[in-house]
Amino acid sequence: MYVKHEDLRTENTSELPLWRYMDLWKFLKIINSSSLFFPSVGLLGDQMEGKIPELVYLGMKEHDKQNGRDDSFVDVFKNFMEDYSRNKTLVLSWNAAKTESFALWKMYAKDKLGVAIKTDLKSLKKCFNNTKEEIFIGEVSYFDENKPEYNIGQFSTLLTKHIYYNYEKEVRCLTRMKDDENLTFKNISVDLNELIREVYISPFAYESGLLEIIEFLREKHKLNFEIKMSGINDSWL
């Protein structure tokens, strides 16, 4: 179930739609299993995921040194936070935006059979009502080395990315593994009728027959989402 956590912020994106772009086969897995794929941090592709920025790390060591404390504690803290983030936490990401993103279509739904699930924060929280795992949800902040701000907290390593990624406008679902679990991913059960408000069909999928496929899946699984064709037309590019 969704669990509110005082360290996690959602106020900046609470009124925005949330999007997840994917190829058709990933969408089929979601529909057929009524579950969402939560990968480990190590599978996300960014080698800096789950790590404390070097500038912050050096600042913490200097702060302890100036205050007469043994700065080796910072190394212990850093290693624990990064190890826990990368090895004991699973993550699912969403894009918070008023409209579709042509760039994200290109990145995550490359072929002619791509779709995007559109939801909102309230629906995302409710879809986990009967989920046995604890699910936390928070906005990602983007670290700018020219204006360094970094809030140390339980989820800070997982909800801070470099400013280069701020186009993603990311909201993340997080869940912790149990002590005896050592997973690279987990499929977590959800209520799809709570989760999926609309399904958008890729701007590259016109005349592909994808609309009929999505309509068939909706009827077969007794789901109630709307189906929309992408409003993007890149023929002028």
Q: How does pLDDT run across 79-115, given as a tens digit for each residue?
A: 776 677 777 889 999 999 999 999 899 888 877 789 9
Q: Do the beta carbons of residue 185 and residue 212 sit within 8 Å? A: no
Q: What is the pLDDT of residue 232?
A: 86
Tens digit of each residue's pLDDT (9 = 90 or more) over 181-203: 788 889 999 999 999 999 999 98
Global pTM value: 0.86
CA dist 185 and 42 (Å) reads: 10
**Residue ranges in the chain whose pLDDT is less than 50:** 236-237
